[in-house]
């Protein structure tokens, strides 16, 4: 069924759910009183700084006064992300490049993935092995943004940090092995931190469900395609919130386990319609006119999947939209006291602006300014 949002539509009402959900979504959560600030003057290497989560963590570290280096195969002409930032020529698949780039760093943010979902089976694990080797030599902690792909239906619907990882997909099996190697390395003194969250969205992030499924970047919004089913909850994570969470944990790094894992709650869409409705509502309120919400044409993804790797990978993850899957942030709350949480409309508005989906947006200028 198709619904339509107009500029005169009322604000999206709070989604029904547990009382703590509504309370935590009311306003951004400041750092708990007495929590230590992220120590300034240290150095980090970010692998995957051109991606959504890698770029978000790099910017947050820079804001805290860190020196940030980022590996890139062709850095010539690339603008720095901020002061105290430098691009370094190299390839995450080449161990010597990673070892050289990691000289003097306290943190290695491993946020790199093969472009276009290609060659996961050939590239993902060797890149992690190189990060582990660099962390071992430099005494750095590895930070890995985790995914829900690691889990199968036996762990659904509420997934704790220690839930068994029995994935259904090839990609999920690779992610499980990735984390297994980090756990083995921790026994040998290589520290790591895994922060797992729902589907990413945020300004300038192009490789995610919101920017590849719900909307079309670079043009004013007319239609929102909803991949979910009405009545089936889904979990989302705003990238600046994920970056802030990672950095708050890094601030207490010495108190963490050598192999530390945390889950975020992010934005829980209780009935599977709130995110799409909020996207349409924000666009309409910005002057986009009538914005329709329609079901994502999964049949089209199925037809195109054999020819388009990105659509094939999206189609493979459909099972995560057919049943509620929610990561539990209980351990995170025990350690931090609160989870960083930007209100949904604010997060969606910034995301749509960054993607060039609101009237009058200049995508190139916005991305350049980020």
| Helix/strand/coil for 145 | strand
**pLDDT for 289:** 86
Is the CB of residue 306 less than 8 Å from the CB of residue 4?
no
The structure tokens 């947006």 sit at: 361
**pLDDT for 36:** 67
Question: In this predicted model, what pLDDT tens digit does every residue of 305-335 receive, in sequence order?
Answer: 677 777 777 777 788 889 999 999 999 999 9
Sheet with 67-72: list strands edge to edge: 85-89, 67-72, 43-47, 107-110, 141-146, 192-196, 259-263
Entry pTM: 0.87
- List helix spans (H) across 146-273: 170-186, 209, 239-251
- The encoded tokens of residue 282 equal 């924000």
Write b or e for each residue in 168-188: b if 16 or more Cβ atoms lie within 10 A of its Cβ, otherwise e.
Answer: bbebbbbbbbbbebbeebbee
The list of the chain residues with pLDDT below 70 reads 1-36, 40, 116-117, 301, 304-305, 361-370
Give the DSSP H or E segment for 345: helix 344-354
**pLDDT for 83:** 87
Class of residue 223 by CB neighbours under 10 A (exposed 0-12, middle 13-18, buried 19+): middle
**pLDDT for 6:** 38
Q: What phi and psi, each to the nearest 5 degrees, are found at residue 260?
A: -105, 135
Q: How many residues make up the chain in this entry?
A: 370
Is the CB of residue 153 less than 8 Å from the CB of residue 104?
no
* Number of domains comprising the chain: 1
Torsion, Cα 90 95 99 100, to 10 degrees, reads -40
Is the CB of residue 211 less than 8 Å from the CB of residue 310?
no
Give the DSSP H or E segment for 63: helix 52-63
Is the CB of residue 53 less than 8 Å from the CB of residue 60?
no
**pLDDT for 39:** 72
CA atoms in the 13 A half-sphere facing the CB of 125: 12
Q: How many distinct helices (H) and strands (E) make up the chain? A: 13, 15
CATH number at residue 332: 3.40.50.720
What is the gyration radius of the CA atoms in the chain, in angstroms?
20
What is the span of the domain harbouring residue 156?
Answer: 3-9+17-369
Torsion sign, CA atoms 103, 109, 114, 116: negative
Of residues 74, 178, 171, 87, the one with CA closest to residue 127: 178
């Amino acid at each position: 069924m198709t619904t339509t949002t107009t500029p005169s539509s009322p604000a999206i009402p709070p989604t029904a759910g547990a009382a703590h959900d509504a309370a935590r979504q009311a306003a951004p959560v400041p750092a708990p009183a007495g929590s230590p600030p992220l120590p300034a003057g240290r150095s980090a290497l970010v692998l995957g700084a051109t991606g959504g989560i890698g770029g978000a963590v790099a910017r947050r570290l820079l804001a805290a006064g860190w020196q940030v280096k980022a590996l890139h195969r062709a850095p010539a002409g690339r603008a720095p992300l901020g002061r105290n930032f430098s691009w370094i020529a190299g390839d995450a698949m080449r161990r010597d490049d990673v070892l050289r780039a990691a000289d003097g760093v306290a943190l290695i943010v491993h946020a790199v993935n093969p472009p276009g979902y290609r060659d996961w089976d050939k590239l993902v694990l060797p890149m992690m092995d190189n990060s582990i080797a660099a962390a071992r030599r430099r005494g750095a902690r590895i930070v890995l943004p985790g995914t829900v792909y690691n889990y199968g239906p036996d762990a659904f619907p509420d997934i704790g940090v220690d839930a068994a990882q029995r994935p259904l997909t090839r990609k999920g099996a690779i992610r499980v092995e990735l984390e297994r190697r980090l756990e083995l390395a921790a026994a040998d003194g290589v520290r790591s931190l895994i922060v797992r969250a729902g589907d990413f969205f945020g300004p300038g992030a192009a490789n995610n469900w919101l920017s590849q499924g719900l909307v079309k970047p670079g043009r004013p919004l007319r239609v929102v395609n909803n991949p979910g089913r009405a009545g089936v909850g889904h979990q989302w994570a705003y990238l600046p919130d994920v970056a802030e969470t990672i950095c708050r944990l890094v601030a207490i790094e010495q108190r963490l386990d050598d192999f530390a894992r945390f889950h975020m709650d992010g934005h829980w869409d209780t009935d599977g319609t709130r995110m799409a409705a909020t996207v349409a509502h924000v666009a309409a309120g910005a002057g986009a006119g009538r914005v329709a919400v329609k079901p994502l044409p999964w049949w089209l993804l199925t037809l195109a999947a054999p020819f388009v790797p990105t659509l094939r990978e999206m189609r493979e993850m459909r099972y995560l939209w057919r049943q509620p899957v929610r990561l539990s942030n209980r351990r995170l709350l025990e350690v931090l006291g609160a989870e960083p949480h930007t209100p949904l409309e604010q997060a969606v508005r910034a995301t749509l602006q960054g993607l060039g989906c609101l009237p009058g947006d200049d995508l190139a200028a916005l991305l350049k300014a980020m």
